[in-house]
Structure formats: structure tokens, C-alpha cells
């Protein structure tokens, strides 16, 4: 099975510094094949047996035990990532300002739906299956939506812009 692992918060501060060569080596030691990384933000592609949840847990354990990092890992199959792209309900006006928040578990739909869109305008959000689609027309300098989304999070989450999401999909499908 082809997988994409999305590590939360990698290389954003000294506590989460991780060389992509070290990540590739760790995934190889865990027995995964065709290991590749994309960018320096904790995106890995590989082949493996097993399901996405147990694979994510194994990577989290390995990061902790071997590299001393406590990092949330969200794993999707190439097919699941294809579904995320195909189900996007919003117009991608600027791929650098459009993002997908990948969730480890389904979102708190009621809580998220209770947020008044005026509270985060002109930003936009759409609730997906295990992802949130968000548009930040003013960029990510001081967005309003992330703190509101955190309040209704049911578990770990990590965000990737649309350029990264579509590139990861292309790489995953080429594995």
C-alpha cells in the first residue's frame, strides 16, 4: 500500500528539528519501502503493509524512541489523499493560501458548524470527512480560523497548503 505521512510541527522550532535524511532512515528501519520525503516540513511517502492508524502509531513510537521527538503523525493512503483532493468543495483561488487541515479523527461537526462565519471572515472553511478545507485570503500571518478550529479539535491535526497536498498526491501515485 502507498502511504503519505504528515508530521505535525516539524522544523518550526528547535524542539522539533528533524533532518529529512533521519526521517527517511527511521522509516526504512521500520520496514517501509520506497521511502521519500518532500520539503523539510515532515512529509514522507512510502510503501507498507498494514492500516494507516497502526502505521502512524509506529512512526510516532519510532520518532520518540529513536529520535527523542514527541510528534503527532497523520497517515493517509494514496487513495485517501486522492479523495481529499477530489472532494474539495471550495474554489482554489490561490494554492499558497488554500490549505487542508488533516485530522487524526473525524471533526466535531457540531462545534465547528457553530462558529459564526462572520467571526473569521474573509477566511473560509469547509468541513470534510477527516479534513478541513480552509482559505486564507490574507495569508497566514495572523489567521483567525486556526485558534477556532483548535477549540473543536478531537485529536491531532496538521495543515498543508494546496500546492503541497497536490504535489504529495502526485508523488504518492508515482511510488
pLDDT tens for residues 110-127? Answer: 998 888 889 899 999 999
The closest of 172, 130, 173 to 38, measured between CA atoms, is: 172
Number of Cα atoms under 13 Å in the Cβ half of residue 40: 7
pLDDT of 15 reads: 84
Determine whether 84 is exposed, middle or buried from the number of CB atoms within 10 Å of its CB (0-12, 13-18, 19+).
Answer: buried
Return the C-alpha cell found at 63. 520518532
Considering only the C-alpha atoms of the chain, give the largest distance between any 2 of them, rounded to a whole number of Å. 48
| pLDDT range class, residue 147, cuts 50, 70, 90 | confident
- What DSSP element (H or E) covers 28? helix 20-29
User: Is pLDDT of 7 > 90?
Assistant: yes
Q: What is the pLDDT of residue 140?
A: 83
Has residue 31 got a pLDDT over 90? yes
Residues 50-78 pLDDT 10s: 999 999 999 999 999 999 999 999 999 99
The per-residue pLDDT for 161 is 96
Would you state the cell numbers that stand for residue 149, as one nine-digit string? 478550529
Amino acid at each position: 500500500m502507498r502511504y503519505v505521512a504528515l508530521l505535525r510541527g516539524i522544523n518550526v522550532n528547535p524542539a522539533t528539528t528533524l533532518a529529512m535524511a533521519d526521517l527517511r532512515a527511521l522509516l526504512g528501519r521500520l520496514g517501509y519501502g520506497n521511502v521519500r520525503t518532500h520539503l523539510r516540513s515532515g512529509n514522507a511517502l512510502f510503501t507498507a503493509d498494514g492500516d494507516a492508524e497502526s502505521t502512524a502509531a509506529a512512526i510516532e513510537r519510532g520518532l520518540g524512541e529513536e529520535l527523542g521527538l514527541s510528534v503527532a503523525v497523520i497517515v493517509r493512503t494514496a487513495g485517501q489523499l486522492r479523495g481529499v483532493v477530489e472532494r474539495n468543495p471550495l474554489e482554489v483561488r490561490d494554492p499558497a493560501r488554500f490549505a487542508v487541515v488533516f485530522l487524526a479523527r473525524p471533526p466535531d461537526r457540531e462545534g465547528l458548524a457553530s462558529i459564526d462565519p462572520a467571526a473569521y471572515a474573509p477566511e473560509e472553511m469547509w468541513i470534510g470527512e477527516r479534513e478541513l478545507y480552509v482559505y486564507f485570503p490574507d495569508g497566514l500571518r495572523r489567521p483567525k480560523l486556526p485558534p477556532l478550529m483548535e477549540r473543536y479539535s478531537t485529536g491531532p491535526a496538521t495543515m498543508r497548503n494546496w500546492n503541497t497536498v497536490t504535489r504529495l498526491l502526485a508523488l504518492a501515485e508515482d511510488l
